[in-house]
Amino acid sequence: MRLVLVVALTVAALLAPPASRLFAAGSAGSSGSSGAVVRAVAGAAGEPRSAADDDTVPAVGRTWPVGVRPHVLRGWEPPATVYGPGHRGVDLAAAPGTPVRAVADGRVSFAGRVAGKGVVSVELTGTGDPPLRSTYEPVRASVPQGAEVSAGEVIGTVEAGGSHCTAPCVHWGLLRGETYLDPLSLLPPWLLHRGPSRLLPVLGVPLP
């Protein structure tokens, strides 16, 4: 009887999967369900989420929101957690009254005031479902909600008040649904890294 018991235990031990494999499977299942719960809670709370990067953002931008290549006062700093500190957008140096342009073709989904600040939001054409939304503030809108706009079209001007920057600026944001993304990812490399224009001599004639 003892011999039969020993043989049975030996066979069971040989057929059982390694403990490391069981632990890995358990960890993966736990992590997946936990992530789903976190996403469900975040969505239910209605609090916009942040993403470190999103390969689904197409470089559809054809112009900067302000100027030719404005100085970036503060870049995008995604928070480590849903409610954590961070900077959900990019601050671009821009004096009050500076024209603000749509970076790509789209439809104005909002044009009004939020917490005393002028805000314009544009749903970008051909960027998936839900579509990407490019936001600008503080901006005095010159286009109504629902208007179709083209890349480079003026949608408003920078307001004198309402900026959280130490210097005059426009805060440029990007969202897909409730997820914040890096707005600079909309710009193709040729536009993102292009320097200021420079005149060159023609036919050997020096510039004055």
Report the C-alpha gap between 52 and 48 in whole angstroms. 13
Return the minimum-mean-pLDDT range out of 20-29, 35-44, 48-57, 181-190: 35-44
3-state DSSP: the chain helix, strand, coil percent, rounded to 5?
Answer: 25, 30, 50
Predicted confidence (pLDDT) at residue 31 exceeds the cutoff of 60 = no
Confidence of residue 30 (pLDDT cuts 50, 70, 90): very low
Predicted confidence (pLDDT) at residue 197 exceeds the cutoff of 50 = no
Mean pLDDT, rounded, for 193-199: 53
Q: How confident is the model at residue 88, as a pLDDT?
A: 81
Classify each residue of 64-92 as buried b or exposed e, where b means 16 or more C-beta atoms within 10 Å of its C-beta: bbbbebbeebeebebeeeeeeeebbbbbb
Q: How confident is the model at residue 77, as a pLDDT?
A: 80
The pLDDT tens digits of the residues spanning 49-59 come to 344 445 578 99
Confidence of residue 85 (pLDDT cuts 50, 70, 90): low
Return the minimum-mean-pLDDT range out of 32-46, 110-124, 150-164, 186-200: 32-46
Mean pLDDT, rounded, for 152-180: 91
Of all residues in the chain, the percent with pLDDT exceeding 70 is 63
Report the C-alpha gap between 71 and 66 in whole angstroms. 10
Predicted confidence (pLDDT) at residue 75 exceeds the cutoff of 80 = yes
Return the minimum-mean-pLDDT range out of 81-95, 114-128, 177-191: 81-95
